[in-house]
Amino acid sequence: MPWQKTFTLPRKSKGMYLVTDTVVSNIQDGLRDTQIGILHLFIQHTSAAITINENYDPDVRKDMSNALDRIVPESFPWLHTDEGPDDSVSHTKTSIIGPSIQIPITGGRLNLGTWQGIYLAEFREAAHTRTVVATILP
């Protein structure tokens, strides 16, 4: 039976944040009854993204942020700046990283690799809460 829940991630400002534990705690009811399935996570925002990356070395978070800042600089002559100078740059980074991920479920647990974790990629300077839709398909 499919399962779905919408939840909010804690308020964060610009950066990469490991949110695996928060996600797992919010989807425990759906995981419990799923021996084999897929978790689909979708973030309902155009200025933040969700991704999977290494969860061991905290420097990975800084490296990811620094690389994205170089690839998509705020100093670019953006036209759409209605919500501030980080408006279009945030939307562009979101398009590069993406609004969703899929993770296999095995034996009622997320089947992530040894060093993999789920990250919120927040691209706005001002702190925001972010809404995620979690869907489990058996």
Look up the CATH number of the domain holding residue 88: 2.60.120.460
Quote the strand ranges of 19-92, DSSP E: 36-43, 48-54
| DSSP state, residue 74 | T
At 104 the pLDDT is 98
pTM: 0.96
Segment 74-93 shows an average pLDDT of 94
Apex CA 51: angle with CA 47 and CA 52, to 5°? 165
The residue range of the domain holding 30 is 3-137
What are 17-58's pLDDT values in tens digits?
A: 999 999 999 999 999 999 999 999 999 999 999 999 999 999
What are 111-129's pLDDT values in tens digits?
A: 999 999 999 999 999 999 9
| CB neighbourhood size of 31 (10 A) | 18
Question: 8: pLDDT confidence band, cut at 50, 70 and 90?
Answer: very high
Burial class (CB in 10 A: 0-12, 13-18, 19+), 76: exposed
At 48 the pLDDT is 98
| H or E element at residue 59 | helix 59-71
Domain count, the chain: 1
